[in-house]
Each structure stands twice: as C-alpha cells, then as structure tokens.
C-alpha cells in the first residue's frame, strides 16, 4: 500500500519534513514550495493526485483549508505550540543570551502564557504578536507585512534586541532589513508525529476508497417524451451503454444491463470518485443528450455492503429523476450524505442528522430530517439568512408553490418568520422575505 503525501511548506522548512520520508514503509512525500504562506491555496491546483495533505503550520493550512475540503483531501498541519516556544527559548539562551530578556515573538498568546506559567518566568520584557485573529475567514485577514512592521518598530525603538518568528518569509525579510532575528525551532517530535498522523489519514482514505460502490443509470425522456417509440429507446440505450463502457474502461468498475433502458455499475468508492473528480459523469451526460436526444438519470451509492451501496444508489437515482427535462446525477454516501447534482453546482445535504436541534425541528413539524438539512445548507451556502420562496425553489429545483408549501410548515411552527418584502420588478406583487430562526447553524 503506497500512501502519497503532498507536503506544503517553505523552501527552508521542507528538508525537515523530507527527513522523515523513509521513517515509514510505503509512503511517498512530494514537496510543494511556497515563498509566502498565502500561496498554499494556489499550490493545491498543482497537485494531481495524493492521499493526504501535510502543511508546515496552521497558517498555510488556513489559506488552503477550503480548497482542500472541496477536493475532499484529508489534511494535517505541523503544530507550532508550547514545545516550539520552549525549544526556541533554550536555543536563544545558548546562542544569544543577551536577547533572552528583550525580544519580540509572533506566536499565539495562549501558548506564551502557558510557557511562562510552566517555567515560572517573571519580569521578562517580551513583546508578542498574536496572529490567530488573522487566520479567521480562511486567512483573509493575514498580513505578513504587519508582522514584519511589529518586529521592526520594536527593534528600531530599542525595546527589542531580537526577533523570534515562526514565518520563514518574515525571517528572510527581517534579515534583509538587518534586524537580528531567529527562526522558531519546531521540535522534530512535532514533525514526526504529524507525518504519522498523515500516514494514518492516508490509510483511512485508502480503506474508504475500497468501499463498495454501485451506480444505476436510467433513460428518462427522449425528445421530451416519457413514452418514446421502441426504436428511439433502442438507439438511446446503445449510446448510453457505449458511453458507460468508455466511462469504466480506465477504472476497476464494470457495467451490466438491468433492463431495456437501465444499467448498473459495480465498482469501488475510489473509482466513482475518480469519475466525479475528472468530470467524466458530466461528459457522459452531455454526450448522450447530444447524440440520442435523451435525458439520463444516474444514482451512485457507497456502502460497506453491496446491498447498502445499491440501496443508496436507488435513493440517489430518485433525486436525479426529480430534475425535469434535464439529465442529472446524484451520489449518496454510506453516511447518508446526498451530493449533487454531480453535473452542476454541487449541493449537499444529509438524510440523517445527529444534531439535536435539527432532529427536534423535524419531529415537531412532521417533516424529514433531509428537508431540514436542505434548508440549513441552503442558508449556509448563501451566507445570508434572508431569502424568498423563489430563492429556495431555485435551490431545490422545485416550483415556487411547492417551496411556499414547505415554508408554510416551518412558519406555522415559528422555525421561519417573515421579516420583510422585496419588490423585484416595477410591476407585480412584492415577495415576502424570510429568515431561518436557528440560533447556531450546524
């Protein structure tokens, strides 16, 4: 079993990670170098295939976290913690003892306070820059120049004689400015433990990739008719079968015919994820529509058993079939997560939930957990807890009247309330604006 780890770090730090590439059998570490940690997100676009991402610290991880989640790559990062500060203090004491009492450091205050308390350090003139707030909102507030100014101003004013920094970019800039500085010493144990964690994550992903997967493909309509002639069905079936055989050719999956206009795909989770990641499903649906004038629905299911995978595939096929006059594909995971449509902007919701508030709402209103989860996911994606019945209808792919019926059930139980109106056109009735009354969106 080969576990492929993509390491994202600065050029200065990367050798410390690669030092452990032979510590475990069956791992391969590929380096991806950045100068500024902001570049870590863009580096993910250069990675073609990996099992797990390993970041040199929480800062590059903060920038790339969202993209890593979108690509469904597990990720770990090397912690810069109390051990880092303690080792750096000891190193500073040995190398530059005069700088121990008057220095500036960029580290979370929580870690510094813990070290001061543990070592019973007092009367020290330390100046700290806590950058944790900069890492919020996917690192949007991070400013390396602000950290550089922090160290520079303290040194120029004579309050600090030495700068300790955990950023190789900041260290290089401070040296260019002639400011005495020392890079924070990350313990080898932290790096070694993170590599072990990456290996564990990689093994888990590989084991999940070998889960059983089932796909069911069915022809819906031909030229807009649900009851086409036999010759048209036969023609569309041949085109669909040819494309399905091409689809599974580069994976370990197989295709079997279920009926006149339906096929089943047997494979592994890894093979189906490969098809989705490289937009093979989208290409298949587009080709069938163009060459047979037929719309196709495909449902994929993952499971620990073939029976579970097939059951989830039929649930996914049901959701795909609800799309009118268009082809569609959905996926249901072993955790009952519904993902789709796979051939458009992805939306995700759960058929089940362990969130107490969602369970209580579903029971109180008398609707499914999946419907509540869809509504919550809709609000989270919008990043705005105000919406109209039309907004919700467009998201769910249903008619506005159906959306209004769903909203009425929530309104009757005070889960949703009308908070205003909007006038979308010069003429016509104003639309009600609603708000979801959940204290904390899960």
Angle at 127 between CA 125 and CA 132, to 5 degrees: 150
What pLDDT does 442 receive? 41
| pLDDT tens, N- to C-terminus, the chain (442 residues) | 688 999 999 999 999 999 988 877 788 999 999 988 889 999 999 987 788 999 998 889 988 988 888 887 889 999 988 889 888 888 887 777 665 678 899 998 888 888 888 877 765 678 889 888 877 766 677 888 999 999 999 999 999 989 999 898 999 999 999 999 989 999 999 999 999 999 988 887 777 777 889 999 998 877 666 655 667 788 888 999 999 998 888 777 899 998 778 999 998 888 888 787 767 888 899 899 888 888 899 999 998 788 889 988 998 998 888 887 889 899 988 878 888 888 665 555 555 555 677 777 877 887 777 778 778 777 765 556 788 888 888 777 677 888 888 888 888 888 888 888 776 555 556 788 888 876 444 4
What lies within 8 Å, CB to CB, of 423 at 6+ separation is 430, 431
User: Tokens representing 366?
Assistant: 């008398």
For residue 156, what pLDDT is reported? 94
Q: What does the buried/exposed string (b/e) look like for 42-69 if buried means 16 or more CB atoms within 10 Å of the residue's CB?
A: ebbeebeebbbbbbbbbbbbbbbbebbe
Task: Indicate the domain borders of the chain.
Answer: 3-80+189-207, 83-171, 210-349, 356-436
State both tokens at 35.
Answer: 């100068």
Residue 441: predicted pLDDT: 42
116, 119, 125, 127 alpha-carbon torsion, rounded to 10°: -40
- In whole angstroms, what is the distance from residue 311 CA to residue 298 CA? 13
Burial (Cβ within 10 Å: 0-12, 13-18, ≥19) of residue 214: buried
Q: Which fold has domain 3-80+189-207?
A: Rossmann fold (3.40.50)
Report helix, strand or coil for 141.
coil
Q: Which of 215, 234, 233 is nearest to 225 (CA)?
A: 233
φ, ψ dihedrals at 350, nearest 5°: -110, 140
Q: How many CB atoms lie within 10 A of CB 114?
A: 15
Q: Which two tokens stand for residue 38?
A: 């902001």
pTM of the model: 0.56
As given in the structure block, the two tokens for residue 78 are: 């090397």
Q: Quickly name the fold that domain 356-436 has.
A: Arc Repressor Mutant, subunit A (1.10.10)
Neighbours of 329 (CB within 10 A): 28
The SS3 of residue 80 is coil
Cα–Cα distance measured from residue 85 to residue 363, given in angstroms and rounded to the nearest whole number: 51
| Residue 153: count of CB within 10 angstroms of its CB | 13
Classify residue 174 as exposed, middle or buried by CB count within 10 Å of its CB (0-12, 13-18, 19+): buried
Those residues whose C-beta lies under 8 Å from the C-beta of residue 137, and which sit 6 or more positions away, are none
Q: What is the pLDDT of residue 148?
A: 95
- Collapsed DSSP state (helix, strand, coil) of residue 278: coil
Beta strand segments in 341-409, E: 347-350
Could you please state the CATH topology (level 3) that the domain comprising 210-349 is classified under. Answer: Alpha-Beta Plaits (3.30.70)
Q: What angle do CA 392, 394, 396 make, to 5 degrees?
A: 70
């Amino acid at each position: 079993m080969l576990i492929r780890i993509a390491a994202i770090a600065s050029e200065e730090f990367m050798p410390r990670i690669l030092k452990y590439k032979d510590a475990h059998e069956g791992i391969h570490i590929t380096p991806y170098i950045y100068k500024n940690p902001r570049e870590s997100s863009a580096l993910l676009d250069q990675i073609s295939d990996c099992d797990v991402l390993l970041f040199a610290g929480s800062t590059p991880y903060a920038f790339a976290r969202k993209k890593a989640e979108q690509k469904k790559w597990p990720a770990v990062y090397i912690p810069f913690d109390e051990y880092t500060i303690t080792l750096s203090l000891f190193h500073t004491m040995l190398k530059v003892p005069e700088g121990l009492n008057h220095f500036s450091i960029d580290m979370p205050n929580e870690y510094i306070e813990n070290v001061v308390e543990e070592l019973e350090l007092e009367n020290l003139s330390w100046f700290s820059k806590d950058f944790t707030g900069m890492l919020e909102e996917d690192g949007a507030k991070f400013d390396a120049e602000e950290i550089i100014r922090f160290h520079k101003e303290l040194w120029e004013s004579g309050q600090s004689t030495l700068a300790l920094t955990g950023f190789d970019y900041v260290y290089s800039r401070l040296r260019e400015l002639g400011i005495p500085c020392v890079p924070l010493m990350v313990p080898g144990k932290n790096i070694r433990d993170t590599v072990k964690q990456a290996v564990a994550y990689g093994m888990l992903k590989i084991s999940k990739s070998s889960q059983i997967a089932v796909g069911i493909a069915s022809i819906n309509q031909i030229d807009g008719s649900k009851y086409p002639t036999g010759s048209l069905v036969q023609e569309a079936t041949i085109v669909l079968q040819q494309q399905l055989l091409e689809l599974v050719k580069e994976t370990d999956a197989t295709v079997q015919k279920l009926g006149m206009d339906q096929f089943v795909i047997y494979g592994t989770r890894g093979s189906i994820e490969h098809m989705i990641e490289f937009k093979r499903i989208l290409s298949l649906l587009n080709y069938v529509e163009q060459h047979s004038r037929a719309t196709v629905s495909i449902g994929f299911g993952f499971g620990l058993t073939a029976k579970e995978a097939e059951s989830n595939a039929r649930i996914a096929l049901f959701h795909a079939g609800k799309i009118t006059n268009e082809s569609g594909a959905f996926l249901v995971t072993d955790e009952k997560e519904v993902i789709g449509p796979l051939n458009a902007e992805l939306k995700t919701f759960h058929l089940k939930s362990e969130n107490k508030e969602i369970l209580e709402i579903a029971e109180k209103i008398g609707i499914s957990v999946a419907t509540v989860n869809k509504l919550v996911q809709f609000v989270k994606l919008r990043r705005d807890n105000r919406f109209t019945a039309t907004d919700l209808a467009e998201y769910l792919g249903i008619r506005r009247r159906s959306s209004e019926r769903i909203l009425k059930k929530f309104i009757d139980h005070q889960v949703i309330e009308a908070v205003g109106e909007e006038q979308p056109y010069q003429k016509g009735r104003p639309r009600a604006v609603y708000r979801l009354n959940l204290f904390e969106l899960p």
